[in-house]
Structure 1
Amino acid sequence: MTTAVITGIGVAAPNGAGTENFWDATLRGESGIGPIRRFDVRGYPARLGGEIDDFDPAEYLPRRLLPQTDRMTQLALAASAWALADAGVEPGTYDPGETGVAMAGAFGGFEYGQRELENLWCSGPERVSVYMSFAWFYAVNTGQLSIRHTMRGPAGVVVGDQAGGLDAVAQARRNIRKGARLMLSGGFDSSFCPYGWVARMSDGALSTDEDPRTAYLPFDIRAQGQVPGEGGAVLVVEEAAAARRRGTRIYGEIAGYAATFDAAIRHGGERGLGRAVEAALADAGVTAREVGVVFADGSGRPADDRAEAETIADLFGPQGVPVTVPKTMTGRMSSGGAPVDLASALLAMRDGLIPPTVNVHTVAPGTRLDLVTGVPRPWRPGHALVLARGRGGFNSAMVLRPGAVAPALPEKPESPAVERPPDQEGES
């Protein structure tokens, strides 16, 4: 069966824009969570978030594209260019019909939508941008990335909240198996505006703590909710034989994947995360004993944390595998969270370091997890399991296998800045 591997990574997260910037900050334990600054949060019970400060879209995108795009799309476009540069993919590497895009979305362009609705209310319909017709849509990132990079093969979007980021990468693997040579995949969300904030608050999951060090503490005895973040990651998913012919670096293989749903309360409320993990391990052809690290979902809600901890301990044994939740430094990024965890797992394989779960000091009684806290933990890279759950009962699990490293590409500067492609896309 055709093997799908990951050859490029582009990350934009609250603690770093650009993959190496993000990864260096993560290994240092630097958090991007703080008081919200993009809109006035006075009067809202939840006031903390993971905002990306060191990102100016004008540095990476042509001027004409800026008024056409929401912030989430601007982040995704920049990260896609970083990922392709990281993979050494240039125009003409593959036929456009052999390449495609599979992205995840959750909220869509809430910030763009709110601004245009304000224009409608305050100034009339003639002041509403024509680009409102697509800039708010949760599928717009897939369209803009395919236009930007002239990818005319398979295209799609998956909506599953936090779990959707894994589902989209799994869809990319399916397309590789069906004959595509290269897929861009991942997820991005950004909804730091009153419209988006109210939507996030609707299920009562947000922490109302105003201390960034204690607001989001998955598996901790003090856990009381979660903190939203913005951003995500784009991964270059490539057919393994083609990648090896190019002589590019292979970060890892998408070895296994599965998704399930929790049963409705009226049907017993059985949680499906354990079934997803078992099926993903079976798909990868590995046992629990062969997994070297688990990147947990880490809800931050005590009941959810207990259920996830029980699932991990039951499958791997008490303290049976290192577990980490590096999103304690970024907040939960909806569709972007799991792709960033995938990127972290691949970078952990590359460097032999498991990133820490910051600020968690007292694991809740009965948790039975070997939680990596404080500082990175050295490990001998092996299989990594990434877990993600979404509102409404979504569960997804993905197993990554370390990749064989091909001859290295020429070194690139660590700065995320990349040369802009020609200013020709964005029309619809």
Structure 2
Amino acid sequence: MSARAVVTGIGVVAPSGIGADAHWRTVLDRTRRTGPITLFDAEGYPTTVAGEVAGFTAGEYADTRQLVQTDRWTHLGFAATRLALADAGLPARAPDPYGYAVTLASSSGGNLFGQRELQRLWGGPSRTVGAYQSIAWFYAASVGQLSIHHQFKGPCGVLVAEAAGGLDSLAHAVRTVRRGTPVVIAGATECPLSPYALTCHLASGLLSGVADPAGAYRPFDAAASGYVPAEGGAVFVVEDRAHALDRGARIYGEITGWAATHDASHTTASTGVAAGPDTGPAEATPATADPAGPADPIWYARALRLALDRAGVTPDEVDVVLPDALGVPRYDRAEAAALRAVFADRPPPVTTQKPLTGRAHQGGSALDVATALLAFRHDTLPASAGPEDPADGCDLDFLREHRRPRSRVALVGARGFDGFNSALVLRGAPPPRQGER
């Protein structure tokens, strides 16, 4: 239980770019990467803006058999894992299969593949689905395919907690390292962009209906109107620190604390109201209607506190917070209230890049972890991509300019639909000396 878990490889495949360097350039330049949906014809849908991975060619990262058997969500996972292993200086095939594991997060599964097969079932003359429907759609498909392809035979698993899952995956990776597996692939990718998937998201009433990408997703802003969906995410090599040092690996940082709580309440259709057993069902209203009362931040605040306590970090040591940033007014206010409850009159800088990329669910929280680790690597806390006009109740210390870190400690928070709350504390390694990789 004394093993320390560090991150030695980062693989990003997201709207912000393919590769950690491309993602970091997008973050520094605050370049918006959301735009009209192109993966299918979204004309006629209330939401037409999303974050897509531009220029992604699945065949560069997976062979023909894998492409036929799996969904784009898994293709993104193949790519991010390959990039993470290369970044960590590890081989694609494990020299010790039982010393490597895969623990990723998932939520919606293989949407595009499933859409195609179901359309063939009810719209084609064969009235059948392909043999790989049950494999590609399955929420654990990426974990299974990656463990087979890379021959990683250690303890493998999948975490399902919607957006919070990206952080839960890394927490579980630390536990796996402490139980004796020296290398774990963790993180998440997502692809929620198909007619079926978008319809499911629209049922929540939390999606933005703004057609202009520049104004569609504005968390914590007075003009917030909901979130913009996105694909992609980030995958990491989480490694036993002693194992990493023995092989001379570059270390981005250490995962020092984590926590998860649950609101025990359902996110109701069209409102995001946390309806407890005594409140009855909420009426369907648009996300911008913002009915009275906050989306209860108590358990989210508890997750943030627990993560700091388990990391041995006091609130005033935190350099930066990367929040969930849903972009729904009541949820933004609730998140701001949770941060104030934890940090009182000493709020740390807050930065979010989600307006640039969209909300990639579990992939989005993993992408926030990549941003935090790269910030410490480059000795630069990136300015937040908003808000321009903070909403009432969202008065946080948003980073307006890049600045150097002080303590090299980041707190990443995420809230998954239906009550999931997770938090992760990262301690960044010192920046490389001149001439180091």
Q: TM-score, normalised by structure 2?
A: 0.90
Would the alpha carbon gap of residues 223 and 382 (structure 1) be closer, same or farther in structure 2, given more than 3 Å must change?
Answer: same
Find the aligned partners of 2:336 and 2:431 in 1 and give their Cα distance. 34
Q: Within 5 Å, give how 1:10-409 maps onto structure 2.
A: 10-90=11-91, 94-125=95-126, 128-264=129-265, 265-266=276-277, 271-318=298-345, 320-373=347-400, 375-380=401-406, 382-403=408-429
SS, match of residue 157 in structure 1: strand
Contact 2:298 2:338 in 1 (8 A): no
Name whichever of 301-310 and 311-320 sits farther off: 311-320
Return the offset for 1:90. Answer: 1.5
SS across alignment from 1:324: coil
Cα deviations across residues 295-331 of structure 1 (Å, max 9, x unaligned)?
0110101111111111112222346210011111111
**Partner SS for 1:266:** coil
Q: Once structures 1 and 2 are overlaid, which stretch shifts more, 392-401 or 37-46?
A: 37-46
Letter in 2 for 1:266: P
Name the aligned partner's letter for residue 379 of structure 1. Answer: P
Q: 1:147 offset after TM fit, Å?
A: 1.1
Q: Cα distance, 1:355 vs. partner?
A: 2.2
Asked if the contact 2:94/2:100 (under 8 Å) is kept, the reply is no
Cα displacement string for residues 168-216 of structure 1 (whole angstroms, at most 9, x for unaligned residues): 1111111101000100000111021101101111211101011111111
Task: State the SS of the aligned residue for 2:215.
Answer: coil
Q: Deviations over 1:265-312 (max 9, x none)?
A: 236856311100111011101110111000011010111111111111
- What displacement does 1:133 show? 2.1
Gaps of 5+ in 1: 412-428
For residues 134-174 of structure 1, the C-alpha deviation after alignment (integer angstroms, 9 at most, x for no partner) is: 00111101011111211000100011110011011111111
Letter in 2 for 1:344: T
2:62 partner letter: L
Shift in CA distance, 44/92, structure 1 to aligned 2, threshold 3 Å? closer
Structure 1 CA distance for aligned equivalents of residues 66 and 185 of structure 2: 20
Post-superposition offset of 1:39 = 1.4
Conserved 8 A contact 1:318-1:369: no
Q: Is the 8 A contact 2:262 2:419 kept in 1?
A: yes
* CA distance in structure 2 between the partners assigned to 1:58 and 1:20 by the alignment: 21
Which amino acid in the other structure matches residue 386 of structure 1? V
Q: Render the CA deviation track for 1:327-367: whole Å, top value 9, x for unaligned.
A: 11111101101111001000001112222332521111332
Q: CA–CA distance in 2 between the matches of 1:167 and 1:408? A: 35
Name the SS for the 1:81 alignment partner: helix
- Greater Cα offset, 402-411 or 361-370: 402-411
8 Å contact from structure 1 (residues 247, 408) kept in 2: no
Change (3 A) 1:194 1:403: same
* Paired residues, number: 410
**Contact 2:318–2:407 (CA<8 Å) still a contact in 1?**
no
1:217-276 deviation line (CA, Å, top 9, x unaligned): 111111111101100110000001000001111101110000001143236856311100
> How far apart, in 2, do the equivalents of 1:377 and 1:318 lie?
21
Decide whether the 8 Å contact of 2:34 with 2:213 is kept in 1: yes
Cα deviation 1:105-130 (Å, max 9, x = unaligned): 01100110010111122335576321
8 Å CA contact 1:161, 1:335 repeated in 2? yes
**Would the alpha carbon gap of residues 40 and 126 (structure 1) be closer, same or farther in structure 2, given more than 3 Å must change?**
closer
- The change in CA–CA distance for 1:104 and 1:124 in structure 2 (over 3 A counts) is farther
SS in 1 for 2:298: coil
* CA–CA separation in structure 2 for the residues paired with 1:97 and 1:407: 35
> Aligned partners of 1:225, 1:297: CA distance in 2, in Å?
13
Report the Cα distance in structure 1 between the residues aligned to 2:71 and 2:12, rounded to whole angstroms: 17
Question: How far, CA to CA, are the matches of 1:228 and 1:153 in structure 2?
Answer: 33
- Label 1:291 to 1:201 Cα distance change in 2 as closer, same or farther (>3 A): same
Q: Secondary structure at the match of 1:354?
A: coil
The superposition leaves residues 374-428 of structure 1 with CA deviations (integer Å, 9 ceiling, x where unpaired) of x5333335110000000001000000012367999996xxxxxxxxxxxxxxxxx
CA contact (8 A) 2:351 2:385 kept: no
Kindly provide the amino acid, as one letter, of the partner of residue 418 in structure 2: G
Q: Distance in 2 between matches of 1:261 and 1:185?
A: 22
Q: Counterpart of 1:418? A: none
Secondary structure of the 1:66 match is helix
Aligned residues: CA RMSD: 2.0
**Alignment partners' CA distance in 1, 2:171 and 2:430:** 20
SS of structure 2 residue aligned to 1:108: coil
1:8 Cα deviation from its structure 2 partner: 0.2
Residue in 2 aligned with 1:421? none
Q: How far apart, CA to CA, are the structure 1 residues paired with 2:94 and 2:187?
A: 21
